[in-house]
Amino acid sequence: MSHLPFLSSKLMHIPDGFLSVLVSVIFWIISIMVIIKALRETNRLLSERQLPLMGVLAAAIFAGQMLNFTVIGGTSGHLLGAALATILLGPWSAIIVITSVVSIQALVFQDGGLIVLGANIFNMAIIGVLVSNSIFSLSKKLFGSKKWGIIVSGFLAAWGSIFIASLSCAIQLAISGTSPANIVIPAMAGIHALIGIGEGLITAGAIIFILAARKDLLEVNLTNSANSKGILIGGSIIAVVLAILSPLASSHPDGLEWVAEKSGFLGFANDAFYNIIPDYTFPGIDDPSLATIVAGILGVVIVFSVVVGLSQRKKQTTIN
Amino acid sequence: MEKTETPTNNSKFHQLNPLVKLLFTIVFIVFINLTPAKAWGAYALFFLYLITIISSAGLKFSDLAKRTLISLPFILAAIPLIFAGNSPYEVIPIFGNEIMISVEGWQKFLSITIKSILSILAALLLVSTSRPTEIFFALERLKIPSLFISIINLAYHYLFVIQDEVLCMTRARSSRSSSGLTKKSGGGGLMWRAMITGGMAGSILIRSIERSDRVYAAMLSRGYNGKTIPSIQDSKNINRSEYPTIIIGVFLVLIIWIYSLLIVG
């Protein structure tokens, strides 16, 4: 299983030391609030056989992350599984399942740090699930529940979840002053735009298999995932905000520098230590990669608005 | 993925309440991360502190050191600091080119790397001296909802079973040459390989869902009442006799941290 380390899913698991304590605490608070809500919803909505189902599925997704396929000599495509979990279980349970996976990876295998666990949960479990939920539901509305529509929706959801989660990860690193915004954001986005394709293809393949073998498993949640509008809109807003914020942040690192300074002063007044994002000038890297990321993000926004627009129109015609 | 070795020997550190160890680890990592950059002396003291516990717990440092490599890929993210930091710059000739390196950026990069390695060492110390289930039940004491603990616990129990299934599948795939890169070698194009892997993922998920039905039936037959699974060993309260250990342990961390503020500030 040879693969270059920097093309694996490891890049999304931030270790301790790479985020400032304040950033870690903020994302702990956000994640805990979402997890409590998710636990409540799961408790309310689902039957008692859900506990073993969620536990075993978490193990399956953890183990499934070992699956890979060769892309070109040395690099390989991996599975992270947020989109698959969302499609099979619905958003709230999927958040719990992926949170369990990420927590076990941090607590037992040191894959991702302990005090940054809140941020890792936020990126992979919360953003990953909410974004793939929104993309999947919206594009399914667009394509209808034809077989290829579900498969394409699965691909888009998986790609989007990886891409947007990596943006969030990059912004956290930039706010913490670990890496200059104008470098880390395009780099993370670029790498994960590629990793996302692997994730998307595996997810699509898995959906094809499940449609052939146990179609009933998908149908339950296909109807079920006409879930509350709030979570759908929430996921879409997260995706769009991050997609717009990231190129802005990477082309104007001053804004993030301001945030970093503020958070530094809140942390403790140690000017020399926290004056972390100086005026970076990094000729050569700046422009071409920025161009790619802007293009990628424009793509996301366009796909999103087209999908939203079309699904709105479709809804109106069905009402009429 | 290597299995975490279950703790075998019984040093004093092994016998400490897992909750104490968990809290100590968290305090330790938090203060390492609160330590300013460039506090080399404090890093050395933190390291010495860890080494002392590691050796007194009868663990081999080299075993733990190998596993700190897990953070290696992430260090890439901090490398740009070396070139993009503030002045003063130093010019270093590499292969005939002159490369500008920011001294401050370089020191910050080194600080982040050291802090990250120290944090991972501390976390490794925790898992090599307590069983994962003990850590999960310690979390229960920290008011983490028991529904969540039950799910984590179940997931951990079935992880190795399902990992074996994945390994079997991967072996089957390679023995049928379906991992080949071309049709000639028995494989297919990129799409084909991706779809095969996807099919494997799908079948693992379906098997697991079916397995969870059996697990549920087995749980019912043993009197599962639809609530959370009872803890196997009720997590212990912190013993009174353990208070001095905790206080001294945390006190030492605090002293090193204050020292770091003094030498940098």
Element (H, E) at B96: none
Which range among A2-11, B187-196, B239-248, B252-261 has the greatest average pLDDT?
Answer: B252-261
CA B194 to chain A, closest CA, distance in angstroms equals 6
Task: Decide if A169 contacts A14 (C-beta within 8 A).
Answer: yes
CB contact (8 A) between residue B85 and residue A278: yes
pLDDT digits (tens, 9 = 90+) for A212-226: 998 888 876 554 544
Residue B220 clears pLDDT 90, i.e. is over it: no
Minimum Cα–Cα distance from B72: chain A residue: A5
Top-confidence residue, A78 or B18:
B18
Q: What is the mean pLDDT of residues B223-241?
A: 67
Contacts of B82 in chain A (CB under 8 A): none
Percent of residues, chain B, with pLDDT higher than 70: 85
Q: What is the mean pLDDT of residues B232-251?
A: 76
Angle at B26 between CA B22 and CA B30, to 5 degrees: 175
Position B235 scores a pLDDT of: 56
Q: How far apart are CA A156 and CA A142, in angstroms?
A: 12
Find the CB nearest A6 among B73, B118, B205: B73
Query: Where is average pLDDT lowest: A12-21, B171-180, B228-237?
Result: B228-237
Top-confidence residue, A223 or B135:
B135
CA B116 to chain A, closest CA, distance in angstroms equals 4
Which range among A4-18, A58-72, B80-94 has the greatest average pLDDT?
Answer: A58-72
Instruction: Tell which residue, B59, B38, B199, has the closest CA to residue B112.
Output: B38
Instruction: Tell which residue, A104, A108, A32, A24, has the closest CA to residue B32.
Output: A24
Top-confidence residue, A94 or B244:
A94
- Asked whether the CA dihedral B82, B83, B87, B88 is positive or negative, the reply is positive
CB contact (8 A) between residue A15 and residue B32: no
Q: How far apart are CA B185 and CA B176, in angstroms?
A: 10
CB contact (8 A) between residue B151 and residue A280: no
CA A59 to chain B, closest CA, distance in angstroms equals 5
Element (H, E) at B20: helix B18-34
**B113 touching chain A per CB within 8 A:** yes
Contacts of A79 in chain B (CB under 8 A): 197, 201
CA B158 to chain A, closest CA, distance in angstroms equals 6
Burial pattern B59-98, b for ≥16 Cβ within 10 A else e, equals beeeebeebbebbebbbebbebbbbbbeeebeeeeeeeee
Position B47 scores a pLDDT of: 95
Q: What is the mean pLDDT of residues A94-118?
A: 92
Position B190 scores a pLDDT of: 81
pLDDT digits (tens, 9 = 90+) for A77-92: 778 899 999 999 889 9
Q: How far apart are CA B36 and CA A58, in angstroms?
A: 38
Contacts of A59 in chain B (CB under 8 A): 154-159, 161-162, 208
Residue A250 clears pLDDT 60, i.e. is over it: yes
Residue A157 clears pLDDT 70, i.e. is over it: yes
Position A42 scores a pLDDT of: 84
Instruction: Give me the residue label for tokens 């279950």.
Output: B6
Minimum Cα–Cα distance from B178: chain A residue: A69
**DSSP assignment of chain A:** ----GGGSGGGGSPPTTSS-HHHHHHHHHHHHHHHHHHHHHHHHHS-TTHHHHHHHHHHHHHHHTT-EEESSTT-EEE---HHHHHHHH-HHHHHHHHHHHHHHHHHHH-SS-STTHHHHIIIIIIIHHHHHHHHHHHHHHHHTT-HHHHHHHHHHHHHHHHHHHHHHHHHHHHHTTSS-HHHHHHHHHHHHHHHHHHHHHHHHHHHHHHHHH-HHHHHHHHHHTS--HHHHHHHHHHHHHHHHHHHHHHH-HHHHHHHHHHHHHHH---HHHH--------TTTHHHHHHHHHHHHHHHHHHHHHHHHHHHHHHHHHH-
pLDDT digits (tens, 9 = 90+) for B56-94: 888 888 888 888 877 777 887 788 888 776 667 777 777
Task: Decide if B232 contacts B6 (C-beta within 8 A).
Answer: no
Instruction: Tell which residue, A251, A254, A246, A255, has the closest CA to residue A278.
Output: A254
Query: What is the architecture of the domain spanning A5-319?
Result: Orthogonal Bundle (1.10)
**B16 touching chain A per CB within 8 A:** no
Q: Per DSSP, what are the bridge partners of residue A78?
A: A68
Position B201 scores a pLDDT of: 94
Position A3 scores a pLDDT of: 34
Mean pLDDT over the full length of chain B = 83
Q: What is the mean pLDDT of residues A268-296?
A: 36
Task: Decide if B214 contacts A66 (C-beta within 8 A).
Answer: no
**B201 touching chain A per CB within 8 A:** yes
Query: Where is average pLDDT lowest: A7-16, B121-130, B254-263?
Result: A7-16
**B101 touching chain A per CB within 8 A:** no
Query: Where is average pLDDT lowest: A117-126, B130-139, B145-154, B185-194?
Result: B185-194
**B107 touching chain A per CB within 8 A:** no
Mean pLDDT over the full length of chain A = 76
Q: Which two tokens stand for residue A63?
A: 């183990």
**B103 touching chain A per CB within 8 A:** no
Position A286 scores a pLDDT of: 43
Top-confidence residue, B115 or A72:
B115
Q: What is the mean pLDDT of residues A169-188?
A: 87
Residue A20 clears pLDDT 80, i.e. is over it: yes
Position A293 scores a pLDDT of: 47
Instruction: Tell which residue, A150, A46, A26, has the closest CA to residue A91.
Output: A46
Instruction: Give me the residue label for tokens 């998920």.
Output: B205
Residue A64 clears pLDDT 80, i.e. is over it: yes
Residue A318 clears pLDDT 90, i.e. is over it: no
Find the CB nearest B198 among A18, A61, A208: A208
Contacts of A61 in chain B (CB under 8 A): 205
CA A302 to chain B, closest CA, distance in angstroms equals 26
pLDDT digits (tens, 9 = 90+) for B156-211: 999 999 999 999 998 988 887 666 666 666 667 788 888 888 999 999 999 999 99
Residue B31 clears pLDDT 70, i.e. is over it: yes
**B191 touching chain A per CB within 8 A:** yes
Phi-psi region of A108 (alpha: psi -120 to 50; beta: other; left: phi over 0): alpha
Q: How far is it between the farthest Cα atoms of chain B?
A: 74
pLDDT digits (tens, 9 = 90+) for A184-204: 888 888 888 888 888 999 999
Minimum Cα–Cα distance from B169: chain A residue: A67
Top-confidence residue, B174 or A159:
A159
Position A121 scores a pLDDT of: 96
* B4 CB burial (10 A radius; 0-12, 13-18, 19+): middle
